[in-house]
Chain A
Amino acid sequence: MSRSKLLAIVFLTWKAALRYRFFWVMLALLALAVGGIPLLVKDDGSAEGMTQILITYTLSMITAILGAATLWISAGALATEIENFQLQMVVTKPIPRWQIWLGKWLGVMSMNFILLLFAGGVVYGMVEYRARTLTSDAMERLEDRQDDEIYRMAAMSQIVPFEIDPETNRPKLDDNDQPIMRDIQEVRRDVAGIEEKRLRDTVLIARASIPISDQIRVGNDEALEDWIQSLKKQYLPVRLRQVLRVKNEAEQQRGVGPDQMSQELDSYEVRQAEIQIEEEIRNYSQVIIPDGRVQLFFQKPKGWKPGTEEKMILRVYFEDPKVSFKNDNRYGLQLFCGPKDQPDLVRTPDGLTLDARTKHEFQIPTSLESNIKDGGRRSIFDEDGLVSVALMNRDQGGPKHNYRAQLKVPFLDHRGRVGGEGVELMYHEGGFGKNYLRALGIVFAWLGALAALGLFAASFMSFAMSAFACLGVLIISFCVGLMQDVVEDGTVMQTYTEGQRDSSIVDTYAVWSFKAMIAAIKPVKDYSPIEKLTEGRSITWGELLRAYGYIWGLSGLTLGVLGSCILSRRQLAITSTNGGGS
């Protein structure tokens, strides 16, 4: 493969974009999107909230603008050259057609690279600027405060106001055995930097989740699945009787005589009742009754070797089922962490109260000083690499709720599988900068797939048709949820006959084709970096590689090979406007 031939095509794509001002318009649009959106959106007033919104909106806008533009320019770069006969001039030169295809793709992608780097750089600069101004703004506010007030604020914010002896790790004492206070300017700077530090600890960070094991214990220390099955067994007959009663009441209202009323439920009704009750029990399993507890286990990742002082983050979210909105009630909840044989090695203080419907974060040490173990430290993980996290409902009622609340901790997802957002244990995997770069890397992988899609369509269709087809594919990709429902139900029909869902011959093809579409689209959509970035979760190099493997594997190997094959076989002297040749 001749590099100069490929480069000639790449440079041509660039020249077209520059001469037709596409590149400059894109640059201006992106600047407007990333610069203008923060002025329009509303946040919750916190630095974290503002930063999360800033990252979410700007990256989403960048992805949307660049994605649409990529489809447009890649389809146009090939289709218009075919329609204007310019490609005839190129293919009569000694360059294989697949290299023309590849050159166009590289041209579009190199442009995307620059645009993404520019827009991503602006967003990163804005985020960093906002984080830094938090400290400088706070410094200005604290300038006039008295020293005593500053020391008090420091103490309240768990900033040590004393000088610490590094040998004893205790405050240094003066001649009167009074702790020596730190320099007030230093303390003032630390206090001023609290908000920035919190932002960098929660959002501007790359934290990886420690995988949750399915050994969940609920109720009276029973395994979750056993508990669910025992409750189901206990309550199913009651539920079936309820359903039959409701059915008979309905029959009665329709005027069915007592002799003709149903004596039992049909199989579909029984199955529906089973599904319903299991859903309800699973849902209920996440509710901790007063003085009850839930215990979950997390498995230490294989490659992770925490340092002695390293800390994990335990993120907890809960709701009061009686209150369906966020208010300022506070509920008693106690957390315990430790190995299996000592699950309460680390615990939150007694009497701790927390807001509902808020994500709370706690730092958990990975090891503790110990006089039991040799070597002086006790790991929080047991020999199997498991750590237990238990949540106990200690609510005693409060000034704003005069009842002992049940607390729902959603550790199951919407499909009833372990992995909800209720309890999450994370560790510090890296800095925000690298994580942000990897996120942009995944966005770039998406753009690569879109560029391949545009070029693929343009290989055999006119510009108008290929742009329309690409738009169609994008719309379909937004309907993955609907397709999943059809695949799960096994039919597109939503009607019933004698308790059974109807089906038709269409289902055979619809379900099969929906399955294929989900298989192709869903994994691409699943590699969403934006949500992870805003939650301070890490996007690992492995994930990045998998994303490229899948997204570029799909686009490069399938669309690329197909597209360049079609282009190679196409009779370029015949365009779609003048029919086909034999």
Chain B
Amino acid sequence: METTKQAPEQTQAGVTQADDVVVVRSLEKVFRDFWGRPKAKAINDVSFEVRKGEVFGLLGPNGSGKSTTIKVLLGLLNPSRGVARIFGRSPRDVKTKERIGYLPEESYLYRYLNSAETLDFFGGLFALDGEEKKRRSEQLLEMVGLKGVQMRTVGEFSKGMQRRIGLAQALINDPDLVILDEPTAGMDPVGCREIKDLILNLKGRGKTVILSSHLLADVEDVCDRAVIYYGGKVQQYGTLEELLTERDSVQFTVPALSEAAQQEVLEVMERHVGKDSIRVDNPTQNLESLFLNVVERARASDDTSGATSGSEVAEFLRADEPVPTQAEKMLERLADKDAPQKPAALEKAQPEATQPERPKMDEAKLDTLSEAKPEPKANEPEPKAETQKKNLDEVDDKLSGLLGD
């Protein structure tokens, strides 16, 4: 990936870092009516930066200012106040745009062009030579599953197919920064999964991705850091781990245990946190995983006139090292006992991913684990069970005092 050629600049809020791809400082956008009277403040005092190689999420409900921020970043809107820089340059700088891929929230493509012509046209705007343009177009059409319908015009496409061709055009220039505005809107679960895998793949190649979505699962699955918008303002900003981790509880996931073994484990646990604080149930497969399984089986037998499931990532976009899919990442985490605990929501293992050989339970190790008291970090809250016990003790003390015990 290219690095920015301009020196990092001093901004209102401080000094930018060399690997900041996008810098937004005190951004404000006010929409006005014909007479110049303010109509709506779409974004208000927004500041954040996006670093090289990360997947950055813009999260918020509809109308919270995500798309407006993106449009300012793309030079489609002028900010009323504040600064936005991409690769150290103005968003309107033509040079900057050579390194950006953009998928808008709606299909703004030419309805009379077919998918091959669409990619040829956008490839032409990047001055790609004929051979290269053809090669990339073919690979991208293959990747987004539109190879079989490349002669149908975009106007005939379903919404999901339009998103797929939109995604393909956003990647025709092998961009360093990919801006995806609601990329999974209108996509079937297979397509959603493919897009998420693609985002991870792009990340694996050192590309920077900005993902705007109001679908929490999209952001949660792929983003490293995120801002949460509401009413045009940034409400929360940080890494997903910072935003999501519940540090006052612990979750173990183990292969199914015999009743006796379960009872044994519970007894050990009860000694430390009390019976009411422990919850035991079987993990359920989520609907996305179930759907993907069904489609995978059907694909083997039936033809379709619509979009097929996309094939592997286009060769020119592929990372040197294979980038693991989410399922593979999950398996890796499960297999690696030393891996740090991830937030519970991230650990919804897929059924096919949870089929390793059932390990033999090491009860001694379980005892050790249950006995081991985690060292609380200075800035971390106390574990939830600990806190609850402490609170109960305090209440008990107070009651004793009141009753004169």
Of B90-98, B278-286, B374-382, the one with at least 4 CB within 8 A of chain A? B90-98
Task: Mark out the residues of chain B between 84 and 134 whose CB falls within 8 Å of any chain A CB in the assembled complex.
Answer: 94-95, 97-98, 100, 102, 104, 106, 108-110, 112-113, 117, 121-122, 124-128
Of A2-10, A106-114, A354-362, the one with at least 4 CB within 8 A of chain B? A2-10
Whose C-beta in chain A lies nearest to the C-beta of B117?
A15
| B76:A582 contact, CB within 8 angstroms | no
Q: Provide the bound-state CA to CA distance between A105 and B126, in Å.
A: 20
| A2:B127 contact, CB within 8 angstroms | yes
* A5-B80 in contact given A15-B112, A582-B38 (Cβ < 8 Å): no
Task: Mark out the residues of chain A between 559 and 582 whose CB falls within 8 Å of any chain B CB in the assembled complex.
Answer: 571-574, 579-582
* A5-B31 in contact given A85-B106, A573-B71, A579-B39 (Cβ < 8 Å): no
Contact residue among A8, A15, A96, A571 (Cβ-Cβ distance under 8 Å from B76): A571
Residue B204 at the chain A interface, CB threshold 8 Å: no
| B110:A12 contact, CB within 8 angstroms | yes
* A91-B112 in contact given A574-B31, A582-B32 (Cβ < 8 Å): no
Chain A residues with CB below 8 A from B252, complex form:
none
Whose C-beta in chain A lies nearest to the C-beta of B74?
A92
Task: Mark out the residues of chain A between 71 and 111 whose CB falls within 8 Å of any chain B CB in the assembled complex.
Answer: 84-86, 88-96
Q: Taking the nearest CB of chain B, how far is it from the CB of A240, in angstroms?
A: 61
Interface residue range, chain A: 20 to 34
Q: Provide the bound-state CA to CA distance between A29 and B215, in Å.
A: 52
Chain B residues with CB below 8 A from A85, complex form:
104, 106, 108
Chain B residues with CB below 8 A from A571, complex form:
76-78
Q: Provide the bound-state CA to CA distance between A91 and B34, in Å.
A: 24
Q: Provide the bound-state CA to CA distance between A8 and B109, in Å.
A: 15
Residue A11 at the chain B interface, CB threshold 8 Å: yes
Residue A250 at the chain B interface, CB threshold 8 Å: no
| A92:B121 contact, CB within 8 angstroms | no
| B127:A91 contact, CB within 8 angstroms | no
Whose C-beta in chain A lies nearest to the C-beta of B155?
A19
* A96-B77 in contact given A581-B30, A582-B32 (Cβ < 8 Å): no
Q: Taking the nearest CB of chain B, how far is it from the CB of A321, in angstroms?
A: 63
| A582:B31 contact, CB within 8 angstroms | yes
* A5-B108 in contact given A579-B34, A580-B32 (Cβ < 8 Å): no
Contact residue among B31, B109, B113, B122 (Cβ-Cβ distance under 8 Å from A581): B31
Q: Taking the nearest CB of chain B, how far is it from the CB of A306, in angstroms?
A: 55
Residue A325 at the chain B interface, CB threshold 8 Å: no
Q: Taking the nearest CB of chain A, how far is it from the CB of B283, in angstroms?
A: 43
Contact residue among B74, B112, B173 (Cβ-Cβ distance under 8 Å from A20): B112
Q: Provide the bound-state CA to CA distance between A571 and B74, in Å.
A: 11
Whose C-beta in chain B lies nearest to the C-beta of A96?
B94
Most buried by A among B29, B32, B76, B78: B76
Residue B33 at the chain A interface, CB threshold 8 Å: yes
Q: Provide the bound-state CA to CA distance between A572 and B74, in Å.
A: 11
| A93:B76 contact, CB within 8 angstroms | no
Chain A residues with CB below 8 A from B75, complex form:
91-92
Interface readout for B66-82 with A: 1 if CB under 8 Å, 0 if not?
A: 00000100111110100
Chain A residues with CB below 8 A from B29, complex form:
581-582
Number of interface residues of B (CB under 8 A): 40
Task: Mark out the residues of chain B between 35 and 75 whose CB falls within 8 Å of any chain A CB in the assembled complex.
Answer: 36, 38-39, 71, 74-75
| B124:A8 contact, CB within 8 angstroms | yes
| A579:B31 contact, CB within 8 angstroms | yes
Residue A16 at the chain B interface, CB threshold 8 Å: yes
Contact residue among A7, A20, A92, A574 (Cβ-Cβ distance under 8 Å from B124): A7
Interface readout for B242-257 with A: 1 if CB under 8 Å, 0 if not?
A: 0000000000000000
Q: Provide the bound-state CA to CA distance between A137 and B36, in Å.
A: 74
Chain A residues with CB below 8 A from B126, complex form:
93-94
Q: Provide the bound-state CA to CA distance between A315 and B97, in Å.
A: 66
Most buried by B among A16, A579, A581: A581
Chain B residues with CB below 8 A from A581, complex form:
29-32, 77-78, 80
Task: Mark out the residues of chain A between 14 and 72 whose CB falls within 8 Å of any chain B CB in the assembled complex.
Answer: 15-16, 19-20
Contact residue among B31, B32, B76 (Cβ-Cβ distance under 8 Å from A92): B76
Whose C-beta in chain A lies nearest to the C-beta of B103?
A89
Q: Taking the nearest CB of chain A, how far is it from the CB of B168, in angstroms?
A: 13
Q: Taking the nearest CB of chain B, how far is it from the CB of A99, in angstroms?
A: 9
Q: Provide the bound-state CA to CA distance between A572 and B33, in Å.
A: 15
Whose C-beta in chain A lies nearest to the C-beta of B124?
A8
Contact residue among A4, A8, A15, A88 (Cβ-Cβ distance under 8 Å from B108): A88
Interface readout for B342-363 with A: 1 if CB under 8 Å, 0 if not?
A: 0000000000000000000000
Q: Provide the bound-state CA to CA distance between A2 and B122, in Å.
A: 14
Contact residue among A11, A86, A94, A573 (Cβ-Cβ distance under 8 Å from B97): A94
Task: Mark out the residues of chain A between 523 and 582 whose CB falls within 8 Å of any chain B CB in the assembled complex.
Answer: 571-574, 579-582
* A86-B109 in contact given A581-B29, A582-B31 (Cβ < 8 Å): yes
Q: Provide the bound-state CA to CA distance between A85 and B104, in Å.
A: 10
| A86:B110 contact, CB within 8 angstroms | yes
Whose C-beta in chain B lies nearest to the C-beta of A20?
B112
Q: Taking the nearest CB of chain A, how far is it from the CB of B181, in angstroms?
A: 11
| A88:B125 contact, CB within 8 angstroms | no
Chain B residues with CB below 8 A from A7, complex form:
124
Q: Provide the bound-state CA to CA distance between A5 and B34, in Å.
A: 34
Chain B residues with CB below 8 A from A15, complex form:
110, 112-113, 117
Chain B residues with CB below 8 A from A16, complex form:
110, 112
Q: Taking the nearest CB of chain B, how far is it from the CB of A186, in angstroms?
A: 60
Most buried by B among A2, A20, A85, A92: A92
| B76:A5 contact, CB within 8 angstroms | no
Q: Provide the bound-state CA to CA distance between A134 and B126, in Å.
A: 58
Interface readout for A382-413 with B: 1 if CB under 8 Å, 0 if not?
A: 00000000000000000000000000000000
Q: Taking the nearest CB of chain A, how far is it from the CB of B176, in angstroms?
A: 13
Q: Provide the bound-state CA to CA distance between A4 and B127, in Å.
A: 6
| Interchain Cβ contacts under 8 Å between A and B, 12 examples | A4-B124, A5-B124, A19-B153, A88-B108, A89-B109, A89-B122, A579-B39, A580-B31, A580-B32, A580-B33, A580-B34, A580-B36
Spell out A's residues near B (CB within 8 Å). Answer: 2, 4-5, 7-8, 11-12, 15-16, 19-20, 84-86, 88-96, 571-574, 579-582
Known A89-B104, A579-B32; further 15 A-B contacts with Cβ < 8 A: A4-B124, A5-B124, A5-B127, A7-B124, A12-B113, A16-B112, A20-B112, A88-B104, A89-B122, A91-B76, A92-B74, A92-B100, A573-B76, A580-B36, A582-B31
